[in-house]
A and B are shown apart, each in its own frame.
Chain A
Amino acid sequence: MSRKLGLVVIVAAALGSARADAATGWISGSVKLWNANGNYCPTTNSCVGSRYPQSQFHTWQALANAHVNIYDSAGTFLGQGGTGTDGTFVASWTAPVKPAQIRVRFFASQKDSRFHLADPGGGWYNWFTNLISTSTSSGTQPIGEYYLGSPTAPDPYANAYWAAEREWREVFNLVGVLQANFTNVEIRGFADDMPAFRGNCPTSCAAGEDKQVQLDADAAFNPQARVMHELGHIASYVTHPWKRTRNYNWPNTTGTSGWSQTSSEWSDAAFEEAFATHYGNIVFWNDNAVTPTTCNTSATCYSTAGVPKSTADIEATSWAHTVNSCSTVASNPESRWPLSHMRFFWDVFDNHNDAVGDTYTANQGDFWRHLHNLAWYPEGTGANQIDEPWNSTRTSVTELDGRGTLSYVHNYAANVADVGVLRIDNCSPL
C-alpha cells in the first residue's frame, strides 16, 4: 500500500512539475525585403506627385502587415502575430515545456486575411528563420532583423506581396465597400499554366467570383500590370458583382485574345481593364502628378531622358475640342483604346487641370466615391445597369459597349458629379 501511495505521489509530482514547466515567452524583431519592383519614377524625371520614386527602388523595404508564426524545433505551433507597417513585430509563444529553440516563419499573407500569396500548388508561401535559442532571461527577446531576398537575388513573392500590400493599404482600405468585401483573396504565382487553379493564362488573370488571382511566370517585379492590375479586377468585382463577358478585340464580336494599352477594344472590356489598372496607378501617383504613367513591363515607363513613353502616359492630352487631336484611324481609333479609359479615370481622380473643363478632382473629397461608383449601378441589363452587356436573361452578350465609361459617367452624375467633359477630353471612350 505504501509503495502504491509512493507511486501516486511520484506521478502527481511529475504531472505537477510538467504543469509548472509550461512556459511563455515573447520575441521582437523586424523583417524586410529587397525591393526590385519596376514602375518607379526615375530620377531623370522631376517626379512631382510620385508615391514610388526611384529612392525606394533597390532598397530594403518593410514586409508590412504580414502574418508571423512561431514553432519549436520539431515544428510544433507555439504562437502567432503580425508585423506592422514598418515590418516590426512583437509576438508571444507558449509551450508545455520551455523549448530550447524556436523558429519563426514569415508568411506572404496580409495579417488581416485580405489576401495571401501561394505557390502554384496552393501552399501558403513563407520564409523561415534558423533555429533561435530561447532566452533564459525574462522579458521580450529581441531576435534581430531578417531579410528576404538580396540585391543579387530579389524574392519574387516578397516583391509581389509588397505591391499588393501597398495597394490594399493605400487604396482599397480607404473605400468602405472594399473594407467590407475585399477579403480572403488568393494569389498564386508564378506559372503560366496552373491546371488546378485558373488554367492557362500566360499574362496573368483574375476571377472576381472566386477571389482568385494567378500570376504568370514573368509577373514578378512588374507590379502595375500584374499583381496590382489583377487585384484591381477583384476590387471591381466585389464592389458590385457582375456577369463577365470576356469579349475583346473590336470589331470582332467573338474575340477573346488579349489587349494592350492601345489596341482596339469593345468598351465593356476596355473599361474593365482600365478600371482594374487605375487602382494601381493611384497607388504610385498622387493627384498632383504631372507625368504619371502606367507600365506594362518590369522596367520604368520613361525614356532615358525621363519623358513618359506614349503608350504609358496616362496624363497625355488628346481631345476633340477646337482641334481634334485624337487618332481616328478607322481600324484603331483612340476612342477604342483601353488607355483612353485609363486617362479618363486619371482625370477624374487628379488635381492637375490639363484639358478643357478639367476642373473636377475626386481626390479632394470624393476619393472613395469615384471607386465606389460601380456599387451605385442599378441591378439589371438595361442601359447603364451593371449587366448592361447582356440580354435580359443574361444568356448572350448583346451590347459589347455596355458597362463602359459612358455608364460610369451616367451613374457618377446621378450620385456625385458630372464628369462628362473628362470623357470627351480623352477621345470619348464609350
Chain B
Amino acid sequence: MMRSRGWIVALVVLAAAALWWRWRPAAPLERSALRRVAQAPASAPVPPRLTAARAADEWQGMQIDVGAAPPCESSAGCGLGRACKQGRCTACSADSDCAPGEACALDHCVVQALAACHSRADCPTGQLCLLSGYSNQARGNEDMRAYCLDPASGAGSIPAPPELPPDTRTRLPDDDLFDRARAAAKRT
C-alpha cells in the first residue's frame, strides 16, 4: 500500500513538472544587441542561387531563389509574396497557387487589384511587366504592384527626401547593462 502510494506521488510530481515545463512563463526577451558577423556565415561559400525559370525576354529583377524556401502551411503565411507549394514558400506559377484575392505575376503573388500584368505578354509592345517591390509587412506584397513599364519613362524631378527625425543618441537604452556586463567579464 505504502509502495503504491509512493508511485502515485511520483507520478503526480512528474505530471506537475511536465505541465510546468509546457506552460512555463516565457523567458525575457533577448537584449536588443547585435553581434556583427565577422566571418561566418557571411564569408562561408554561398550556394548558387536556384532561381525560378523566367523567360529571357521578361524582366529579370526580383527572381526567387527556390533553393531558399522556408516551410509553410498556406500561401497567406509566406513572406515576400511567395506561394506555398508542397509545404515550402516558393515561386507561384498560377493564380491558384496564391492566397485568395491574389494573382501570380513574375513568380510572385500580387494583390489582384494591384496586378496590371502577369507577364510582358499583357503589356504593349516594347514594354516590360515589372514588380514595384516588397512591402515591409508579413505577406510582403501588401502594396506591391505588377505594372507595365516603358523603359523610356521616369520621374520629371527628384522629390524631396522624406524627413525622418534624426536619432542623435550616442548611448542606447541597454548600454549601461552592457558596460556592466563587460566590466564583470573583465573582472573574471
A367 to B153, CA, bound (A): 10
Are B61 and A183 interface neighbours, CB within 8 A? Answer: yes
A399 to B42, CA, bound (A): 44
Are A365 and B157 interface neighbours, CB within 8 A? Answer: yes
Query: What 0/1 pattern do residues 84 to 117 of B give for CB contact below 8 A with A?
Result: 0000010000000000000000000000000000
A26 to B46, CA, bound (A): 27
Interface residues of A in 130-164 (CB under 8 A from B): 130-136, 140, 143-149, 151, 155
A70 to B140, CA, bound (A): 14
Q: Give which listed residue, B35, B46, B73, B153, contacts A176 with CB less than 8 A.
A: B153
Are A146 and B37 interface neighbours, CB within 8 A? Answer: no
Are A123 and B46 interface neighbours, CB within 8 A? Answer: yes
Given A81-B136, A90-B137, A375-B151, CB of A136 within 8 Å of CB of B26: yes
Distance between B182 CB and nearest chain A CB, rounded to angstroms:
13
Interface residues of B in 120-149 (CB under 8 A from A): 128, 130-131, 133-138, 140, 149
Q: Which residues of B contact A81 (CB under 8 A)?
A: 79-80, 134, 136-138, 140
Are B63 and A113 interface neighbours, CB within 8 A? Answer: yes
A32 to B29, CA, bound (A): 19
**Nearest-neighbor residue (CB-CB) of A55 within chain B:** B166
Q: B44 an interface residue at 8 Å Cβ cutoff?
A: yes
- Count of chain A residues near B, Cβ 8 A: 92
Distance between B155 CB and nearest chain A CB, rounded to angstroms:
4
Q: Give which listed residue, B34, B45, B138, contacts A128 with CB less than 8 A.
A: B34
Distance between A178 CB and nearest chain B CB, rounded to angstroms:
8
Are A82 and B80 interface neighbours, CB within 8 A? Answer: yes
A364 to B36, CA, bound (A): 43
Q: A310 an interface residue at 8 Å Cβ cutoff?
A: no
For the residues of A in contact with B, the DSSP-based class is mixed
A423 to B3, CA, bound (A): 103
Among A114-122, A198-206, A264-272, A299-307, the stretch that binds chain B is A114-122
Q: B6 an interface residue at 8 Å Cβ cutoff?
A: no
Q: Give which listed residue, B29, B46, B168, contacts A144 with CB less than 8 A.
A: B29
Are B169 and A179 interface neighbours, CB within 8 A? Answer: no
Are B134 and A148 interface neighbours, CB within 8 A? Answer: no
Q: A129 an interface residue at 8 Å Cβ cutoff?
A: yes
Q: Which residues of A contact B172 (CB under 8 A)?
A: 147
Distance between B84 CB and nearest chain A CB, rounded to angstroms:
9
Q: B68 an interface residue at 8 Å Cβ cutoff?
A: yes
Distance between B143 CB and nearest chain A CB, rounded to angstroms:
10
Q: B60 an interface residue at 8 Å Cβ cutoff?
A: yes
* A interface with B by C-beta (< 8 Å): 22, 24, 26, 31-32, 51, 55-56, 58-62, 65, 70, 77-86, 88-96, 106, 111-114, 118-136, 140, 143-149, 151, 155, 170-171, 174-177, 179-181, 183-184, 282, 286-287, 363-369, 371-372, 375
Task: Pull 17 A–B residue pairs with CB atoms less than 8 Å apart, ordered by A.
Answer: A55-B166, A79-B79, A86-B164, A90-B137, A94-B70, A119-B43, A125-B42, A126-B37, A129-B33, A132-B30, A133-B30, A143-B32, A147-B33, A147-B172, A148-B36, A183-B60, A365-B157
Besides the known contacts A59-B166, A180-B130, 11 further A-B residue pairs in the complex with CB atoms under 8 A apart: A61-B167, A77-B70, A86-B164, A112-B133, A122-B45, A127-B36, A155-B36, A170-B161, A180-B151, A184-B63, A365-B156
* Nearest 4 pairs of A and B residues by beta carbon: A368-B154, A84-B136, A174-B155, A144-B32
